[in-house]
Amino acid sequence: MLWLDPVRAALDAAPGPVTIFFRDDDGGWDDARLFELLDRFDAHDLPLDVAVIPAELEPPLARELVARRAGSRVGLHQHGYDHTNHETEGKKQEFGPARSPEAKRRDIEAGRDRLRELLGDAFDPIFTPPWNRCTPDTAASAAELGFRVLSREASYAPFGVAGLSEVPVHVDWFAKSKGEPLSREQIGERLATFVSAGDGPIGVMFHHAVMDAGEMAAADELLALLAGHERCRFSSILALGTQ
């Protein structure tokens, strides 16, 4: 676990509490791996916000997620509509400039209604766009449709939409640099950098559907370190966005 040494050192040197939250994308894909990740978070009594793809959520999974929410610290919110890329060039986006504001709004609303139907009160008013990208009109529509929080990636400037807080993630478990996945050591160094910066809550993002046994084990190592460190405090996205 040498890759975690920079994180441990940064936490040891932190002058005060460090708030951390976790987001896992693509709920609706590979349920077995989702349940495994949820089990690992439960074992460490840590919160995990799951971004659920409305078009991929079926009643059996919905029932299981609602049941788990009742007995653990899992949050459930909207991840686009069907996770389809609509851009013909540039970076992938489901809610990008290639589509009209009206079309994007219809998908947000349809996804919201499906999640409300299947998840009931367990559905949190948070919108996470697939690939962490969307347009300003998407954020405005989300606010108009009752969402209170938008979660993207920390490198993007906030949209500043009234009534819509932004709670971005900072460390992507599957981040790339120049097209190559970051090594575990680089992930540890990146997280340590944010801890040392002391600029506010730090979001760590997972994608359970592409996590093999080695990834799950490494994630568990990270969770064990953070859960056991006296400097760490943990929160949900909703709590951070509405406090």
Q: What is the pLDDT along the chain (243 residues), one digit of tens a residue?
A: 799 999 999 999 999 999 999 999 999 999 999 999 999 999 999 999 999 999 999 999 999 999 999 888 999 999 999 999 999 999 999 999 999 999 999 999 999 999 999 999 999 999 999 999 999 999 999 999 999 999 999 999 999 999 999 999 999 999 988 889 999 999 999 999 999 999 899 999 999 999 999 999 999 999 999 999 999 999 999 999 997
Give strand pairing partners of 106.
none
Name the CA dihedral angle for 32, 235, 105, 131, rounded to a multiple of 10 degrees: -60
Q: How many domains does the chain have?
A: 1
Q: Model pTM greater than 0.85?
A: yes
Most distant pair of Cα atoms in the chain: their distance: 50
Tell me if residue 15 falls in helix, strand or coil.
coil
Name the DSSP class of 154.
T
Q: Are the C-beta atoms of residues 153 and 132 closer than 8 Å to each other?
A: yes
CATH number, domain containing residue 214: 3.20.20.370
Please give the residue range of the domain that contains residue 237: 2-242
Q: Are the C-beta atoms of residues 39 and 72 closer than 8 Å to each other?
A: no
